Structure 1
Amino acid sequence: MFRLAYVPGVTPAKWVNVWTERMPDVPITLVAVPAAEVVGLLRNGGADAGFVRLPVDRDGLSVIPLYVETTVVMVPKDHAVTAADEVTVADLVDDEVLHPLDDTIEWTVRPGLPAFTRPATTADAVELVAAGTGILLVPLSLARLHHRRDLTYRPVPDAPQSQVALTWPTDATTDLVEDFIGIVRGRTVNSSRGRTPASPAEKPAQRQAQKPAQNGSGRRAVPASRKRVVPASRKKKGHRPR
């Protein structure tokens, strides 16, 4: 069994599907875990590998950065920023910006005005946005995860962004972990790092590809080393070699 942890907003389905096709005898178990707890889970052996949001404490961990997400601002549908297709951090200077304890964006200076409270989770902060008591900046995938009919979002291109990475305990880099790394990196089954042998069904096609080429008459071509060599003395006019 292979245990894969993932934080909210990350969708591991495409990699899990490839694993299921390539490793049908090794079940994969998904472990949903809050972003603040995933590193502890990996270090305690609760999962073999996990998708995390950077930055994390990398002590004892191997990390492969994967992709960066756009940061968006979640607001009520009647908020002034909805008049634009995208906004800047400066546009939010007069708004109370919620800062949940599980915030996944690393800020140097937080935008807007500090809110009256710090919610424990992003989900709690979304409830406060819906109540009209502040706005919230999150990675796009979290805005989609917490979608509500009374809320909307707009991209904030100049805000810091959240990066998703694959990580695992370095001392526990097993063959199964290597297999999953290969899948995430897009390696094929027959790549040099893959452990799955080529399918026997491919062998006949390989043998057929190695057959000698045929000439235009349909006869098999004769290798140059087997062609009969006629001495120069016998190459007389009208004489045909046998």
Structure 2
Amino acid sequence: MTGSEETPSFRLAYVPGVTPAKWVKVWHERLPGIPLTLVQVPAAEAPELLRAGEADAGLVRLPVDRDFFSAIPLYTETSVVVVPKDHVITAADEVTLADLADEVLFHPLDDVFDWEQPPGEPAFERPATTQDAIELVAANVGLLVVPQSLARLHHRRDLTYRPVTDAPQSGVALSWPQEATTDLVEDFIGIVRGRTVNSTRGRPADGGGTKEGRTAGSAGKSQPDKKPRGAGQSGTRQKPAAKSSGGRGQRARTGGAKPAAKRGKPRRHS
């Protein structure tokens, strides 16, 4: 196998806002003998962490360098604007970027959006982190547009949020170095894709996921029984023989042949 013998555990990196708990639970159920270690990492540092081999795979934010990494997109998040609870925006169920044009919007240095043109009025400074920006929003200094998961992660009782319908969106993906696609990575891919433990695309313990395993498995399968053709049998399905009990107009049939009685002879009249 590739890498499963050398790796004592599976190291999964994840960025803020991503919740890997449901996949980790399935891992522990399917692979109880292989520990899974979670490594939390800032979104901007996740690629270098994976390049350095400090994690086997990561739940990261798109985009990623497709020349180096493989990636399986998992979901796309709703973008929201974080505002104080008494802000006028809370009167609406959702807003657009145009509704935020006159508002001071923070763009922290760890902003996960790739803005072509940052919306809103520029702030007096760029906060170092999203957490710092949240504190400034709570101080009624400005507003912040983030993926919904980050708004929940940094939840405060004095803040709320509303969806921004036309804001950029952040996609979350499972990513790993292309040259390090180990058996354990394949196992985790099967989990995030919802494959069952017996899925033919998974990696069963008996080697069914390998070419050799598939060959051995097919050799052990029983073939459908084929009845030998006997004398007088043809490739067509034969009609069942008539019952032996007497019946009006009943005739014995043999393999679809014509009745034995000869026809056309004149009767002898007495």
Structure 1 length-normalised TM: 0.81
1:187 corresponds to 2:184: no
Structure index of larger Rg: 2
Residue of structure 1 equivalent to 2:145 = 137
Aligned residues: 209
User: Shift of the alpha carbon at 1:80?
Assistant: 1.1
Deviations 1:144-194 (A, max 9, x none): 000001111000011111100110011110000000001011111111122
Residue of structure 1 equivalent to 2:163 = 155
2:87 to 79, 83, 86: 79
Amino acid of the residue matched to residue 139 of structure 1?
P
2:130 to 119, 122, 136: 122
User: Shift of the alpha carbon at 1:66?
Assistant: 0.9
Structure 2 length-normalised TM: 0.73
2:62 & 2:133 partners in 1: Cα distance?
21
Q: Could you say if the C-alpha distance between residues 94 and 20 of structure 1 is closer, same or farther in structure 2, counting changes exceeding 3 Å?
A: same
Local SS of the residue matching 2:44: coil
2:186/2:203 contact within 8 Å kept: no
1:13 corresponds to 2:21: yes
Q: Could you say if the C-alpha distance between residues 15 and 237 of structure 1 is closer, same or farther in structure 2, counting changes exceeding 3 Å?
A: same
Give the unaligned 5+ runs of structure 1: 199-222, 226-231
Deviations 1:97-123 (A, max 9, x none): 000011111212211111110011101
Amino acid of the residue matched to residue 133 of structure 1?
V
1:175 corresponds to 2:183: yes
1:24 corresponds to 2:32: yes
Residue of structure 2 equivalent to 1:164 = 172
1:190/1:197 contact within 8 Å kept: no
Residue of structure 2 equivalent to 1:107 = 115
Which structure 2 residues correspond to residues 81-96 of structure 1 after superposition, within 5 A?
81-96=89-104
2:94 & 2:26 partners in 1: Cα distance?
36
User: Shift of the alpha carbon at 1:7?
Assistant: 0.2
1:61 to 59, 66, 69: 69
Q: Could you say if the C-alpha distance between residues 123 and 235 of structure 1 is closer, same or farther in structure 2, counting changes exceeding 3 Å?
A: same
Deviations 1:178-213 (A, max 9, x none): 000010111111111222348xxxxxxxxxxxxxxx
CA RMSD of aligned residues (A): 2.3
Larger fraction in helix: 1
